[in-house]
Every structure is written in structure tokens, then in C-alpha cells.
Chains A and B, each alone.
Chain A
Amino acid sequence: MAILWVLLAIFIAACALGVVLSRSPITSALSLLIGFVGVGVLYLCLKAEFVAAVQVLVYAGGIMVLYVIGVMFTDSEALRLNRQTHMQAWPAFFIILVLFAWMGHKLYHAEYKAVPSAVTVAVAATPEEEAKTRLALEAKAALAHDTNPRQVSVALFSDFLYPFEAASVLLAVAVLGGIFLAKKEV
């Protein structure tokens, strides 16, 4: 599984680089598509089948189609001849470097919650602690029997309701902006 993960990671990174470095817009769009499918496979490896299916359905099937249609309407020859580097490239590079360093630092020092097992129940010192781990263990057992879509929907409508709604507000803003730009007279 680890080998598969590494191969997938390299593949997705290569696709992402292809998006950025390719001169022809349609090649960029296609490597983005393949990258999306690769991310879907990554989700499959993490046993998140629902998210994988939705990733392919929404990103690869829906959004990419719009991208590709947009690319088809643009003058691809003119885009290919233009050099697309400018003065912002180096500052952007440093900002990204700082961002990645920060993310790596956070990930390195992150506290991972240990997945409770029967052993942790046995070695638990106090009765309260034992009861707590037992509860977590039961929840994990229930999760294993639960179906994937149900887990996702429960998480969406309980723990992550605010981020979910915030994302929908963001999308609504984008839609309104699009209508505003596309309309000739407001």
C-alpha cells in the first residue's frame, strides 16, 4: 500500500507540474483531469470510496468539462506563442516556499490521536480513562460497520456544518460574480 501511495503521489505531482509547465492549454487541462482522477484513486486507497466517486463525478466529470470547453473557445495558438512568465514569478515562489515550510512544520509537530485498540483498554490506568477508551473503541467498531456515504453525511451535518455552509456561501458569491461579469447591462 505504501508503494502504491508513493507511486500515486509522484504521478499526481507530475500531473500538477504538467498543468503549470505546459505551454499548450489543452495539455494543461488534460493533465489536470488525470491529476483529479489520480486524487480519486488516492481517496480509494484511504477507503473513502464515496469521496473518491464524488471527486471523479464533480471535478473530473463536471468542472473539467467546463474548463476544456473554455480552452476550446480560446485561441490556443496565440496562448502558446506568448511567454507567460513575468515579474511576479520569484516573489510567488518564495511565498509558496514559506507556505510549504509552515505546513511541513505544522504536520511534523502535529499530535496524532492514537487509534484505540484492545491493548490500550487493558493498559489504561484509571477507570474513567478505561471507560473513555472503551467508548472510542465501540465508536470505531460502529464506524467499521457503517457505510461510507452515511459517515460522510453525518460528518458534514454535525462536525463540519459551518465549513460546509461557508463553502456554499463562497460558491454563491462566485456564481453571482459570474452572472455580473457575463451580463451586458446590469
Chain B
Amino acid sequence: MNAAARFIKMVTFWELLKGMAITSRFVAKPKVTELYPDVRPVLPYRTKGRLHVEIETCISCRMCEKACPEGCIKVFQPSKEVFKTDKRPVEFYISQEHCLHCGMCVDACPTGSIHHSQEFEMAIYNPDDLLFDKETLPYDLDIKRFRWNFIENVPVKK
């Protein structure tokens, strides 16, 4: 019986057919390919994307500038008279050209004004376009709030 079954299996190429049955099941299954430009990927929350800075809460302490290993952040403090009442920086430069996305500036910031975003498409034609100043630095409050909660181990309130 065993020999007969083995012979039938050999003649009908049973193993090979079984393999083909398995592969055929994958034809109708959903595909794992990401259709990137058409369908945006859902990135994890701790994605270290482009740096965002909230200028309104920044106190011009220059901690980020000192923490940056690449020296790609430059903060200009306001004059002493202005600084007593208004601590916002007069100018804030980030060169994404040199940024390593290491997150050291984010750790150093005492007010949580600088942080990573989900933005990752930074390809441009002119390298000068990667230098951002106070006006061009964007800011997304929702991401900052979530991040802050995440880092402090506080669950997100729904």
C-alpha cells in the first residue's frame, strides 16, 4: 500500500503539484506592495522626519545649537532689552542639508519647541532650498503634543 501510494505520488508529480497549489493561493491574496505616491504610507509616531520648530514657545536658550553634533542649527537671540520681555529668537536657521536626524536637539530643548515631524520627502533640485529660517520652518502642534506625551510615558488622551 505504502509502495503503491509512493509510486502514484511519483508518477503524478504529487510534491510538485502541491507546491503549485500553494503558490496559486497567493495570486488572489492581497498584495504587500506599497503604492507610495498614490497611497501615502502610515509612518510610526517616532519617525525622525524633518525638524519642526515652534517659534512662539522658543526661549532662544541655544541648547539645541550646542547639542547639535553637525552644527546645522543657528539661533540668534534678541537684544538684552527685548529679551527681558520677549524671549523669541530674532532668527532661527536649520540646514537640513547637514542634519543627521539624530534627535539630540529635541532631547536638549527645555520647552519642547523643536521636534521631528513625519515629513520625509526632502528631495529638492537646489541644495540651498534645504536651509530653513524662521518664516519657512513649519510647525504641527498635534504631532508635538503626541510626541511630548509619548516621551513622558503619558498615554494619549482621547
Asked whether any CB of A lies within 8 Å of a CB of B in the complex, the reply is: no
Q: Which residues of B contact A (CB under 8 A)?
A: none
